[in-house]
């Protein structure tokens, strides 16, 4: 999956329970030839560990790639809320305040997934919702460390 580190042992999703990591690794391999199987494995991982943020990443990525944008949106929204919870932030992203420096861990995942949500909204034809997120990300991450300027450029091109 793009965005994660790969080595000879698979993708490094960070610290996860072994069973969850195994499901993610299997899902990544299955995605190449059997997208429904990959989805099932990622959903099993989510059921087993709903607080494991990489699972949300895998799910919203595959659904975005497949054009299943309603599902991608739902999962990205859930992942954003879970990351915000873990970071100790309000559930509503519009209430998040800038952190200096831009956080690591759950906070960074929240910002990264919010960026992904802006992209999903753009693909769904919801430009105003995407732009609202991007404007807030410009406040939260002025240097663009989570990559939101790329999505902003896409939004400005529409």
- Sorting pLDDT into bands at 50, 70 and 90, what band is 158? low
Q: Delimit the domains of the chain by residue range.
A: 18-92+99-156
Provide the whole-model pTM.
0.89
Q: Alpha-carbon distance 43 to 23, whole Å?
A: 9
- Sorting pLDDT into bands at 50, 70 and 90, what band is 102? confident
DSSP string over 3-20: TSEEETTEEE--S--HHH
Q: Alpha-carbon distance 97 to 6, whole Å?
A: 33
Q: Which residue has the tokens 């809320």?
A: 81
Residue 8 has pLDDT above 90, yes or no: no
Q: What is the pLDDT of residues 19-55, one digit of tens each?
A: 999 999 999 999 999 999 999 999 999 999 999 999 9
Structure tokens at 120: 């999903």
Residue 1 has pLDDT above 70, yes or no: no
Domain 18-92+99-156 CATH class label: mainly alpha
């Amino acid at each position: 999956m793009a965005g994660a580190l790969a080595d000879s042992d698979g993708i490094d999703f960070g610290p996860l329970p072994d069973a969850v990591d195994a499901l993610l690794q299997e899902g990544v391999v299955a995605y190449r030839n059997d997208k429904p199987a990959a989805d099932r494995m990622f959903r099993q991982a989510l059921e087993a560990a709903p607080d494991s943020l990489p699972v949300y990443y895998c799910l919203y990525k595959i659904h975005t790639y497949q054009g299943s944008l309603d599902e991608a949106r739902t999962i990205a929204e859930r992942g954003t809320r879970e990351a915000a919870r873990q970071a100790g932030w309000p559930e509503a992203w519009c209430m998040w305040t800038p952190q200096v420096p831009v956080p690591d861990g759950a906070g960074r995942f929240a910002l990264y997934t919010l960026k992904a949500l802006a992209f999903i909204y753009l693909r769904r034809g919801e430009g105003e919702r995407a732009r609202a997120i991007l404007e807030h990300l410009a406040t939260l991450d002025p240097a663009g460390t989570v990559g939101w300027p790329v999505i902003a450029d896409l939004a400005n091109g529409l």
